[in-house]
Amino acid sequence: MSISKFIVQQAISLIKPGMTVGFGGGSTVGLLVKESTNLVNQIQVLTPSPTTRQLATVLGYTVIDPQYCDRIDIAFDGCDQLDHRHSALKSGGGIHTNEKIIATLADEYWLLAPKNRLVTQFSTDIPLVLEVLPKALALVMHRVAALGGQPTVRTASNRDGLTLTDNGNLLIDCHFPSYNQLSNINQQLSALAGVVETSFFDHLITNAILGDPDTNTINYLY
């Protein structure tokens, strides 16, 4: 059995009939959606991911929009890295603003990830990603540089032009030489006019299910 399927089996046991459940993006969460179809008529689903939304719709789940929901029982998502302070960096998909809405709505926000993504110090190889209003581009680029970062506007890989989020905004990947002051940097950039959200989930993680592919075992972060 793959470690992802092992993780998913643990996650399924947390989903109960009558719940409103958040499903994020990524292959492990996608597998969770597929493996939970025995509950398809017993739960309602929210997701920040267009791919997950399409999958859940095809499988017959009742998919609702976050704008009409003020509480989620439990939500599941992935991450690039997380730490023991229940914080995480999420940058790859560029949907972190919508993911944060789901995380904040959820009574319990669980991350599903390989054990090696639990770290004591976040890697600077992973950028801090900002979703930014287009008119604030120059302002934000200047402020990131002033804070010691290297900002790069994300471009689309499948077309000529910049990457736009589902909200119609730009993504700026910010590489810093150190994350020792990540919380402080995040606060300053979050407060900057034109920054919609950052990809740093500061103390937003409730729990995590971490799979170890070497020993085929599961660890939990509470």
Q: Is the pLDDT of residue 1 over 80?
A: no
Q: Is the pLDDT of residue 2 over 90?
A: no
pLDDT category at 213 given cuts 50, 70, 90 is confident
Of 1-5, 108-112, 142-146, give the lowest mean pLDDT range: 1-5
Q: Is the pLDDT of residue 124 over 70?
A: yes
pLDDT category at 222 given cuts 50, 70, 90 is confident
159-167 mean pLDDT: 87
CA 115 – CA 40 distance, rounded (Å): 29
Q: Is the pLDDT of residue 86 over 70?
A: yes
191-220 mean pLDDT: 95
Which residues are the active-site residues?
99
Biggest CA pair distance of the chain: 52
- Mean pLDDT estimate for the chain: 95
DSSP conformation letters of 60-112: T-EE--GGG-S-EEEEEE--SEEETTS-EE--SSS-HHHHHHHHHHEEEEEEE
**For residue 88, which of 54, 60, 126 has the smallest C-alpha distance?**
126
